Amino acid sequence: MSQTLPIQKPESIDDELQRMQDCIMRRAYEIFRDNGYAGTDLNNWLAAERELIWKPAVEITEKDNAFTLTFAIPGMSPEDLMIEVTPDEILVKGETREERKEEGGKVYSSEIKTGSLFRAITFPKKVNPDMVKAELKDGMLKVTAPLATEPVAKTISIQAA
């Protein structure tokens, strides 16, 4: 069953991106400190990013004057997701959680990710945010973003005054 998701149209998603970068920076510093002030900035940043956010795989295609973005987000429901779009960018975010029942025994490996889903993408061309649609079906989020119409130059006749 396919479910439609609401789309928010903020002026800019820069504040949200800055908030996430600040959070990652704080965690990267904690990792640096916990490692006795050793390690590289990049390794600490990447470790913090892996801990704090989940970046789902995405495919972006252009066809019929629209971009189609397909995100692989198994286990998510529309209530868990928020999509913000401007003419230049899209931000998909949400919270993932696993409800595990304690059944005894040892867990030797678990690759089930919980935490914050966060994926920001800059469109290669401007889109019309008022026309963006999103659907979630079988763990795949499909976002259709029609391209913005290019302004057309027009000739204006000059009237004598």
* CATH code (residue 32): 2.60.40.790
Q: Considering the domain boundaries, does residue 158 fall inside one?
A: no
Tally of domains within the chain: 1
Using one digit for the tens of pLDDT, what is the confidence trace for 76-114?
888 889 999 999 999 998 887 666 666 777 777 766 666
In a domain, 52, yes or no: yes
What pLDDT score does 149 carry? 85
pLDDT range class, residue 141, cuts 50, 70, 90: very high
- Domain limits at 41? 3-98+113-146
Residue 159 located in a structural domain: no
Q: What is the mean pLDDT of residues 6-17?
A: 73
Q: Give me the amino acid identity at 27.
A: R
At 152 the pLDDT is 63
Query: DSSP letters of 78-91?
Result: GGGEEEEE-SSEEE
161: in domain: no
Whether residue 104 is contained in a domain is answered as no
Kindly tell me if the per-residue pLDDT of 32 is higher than 80: yes
pTM: 0.69
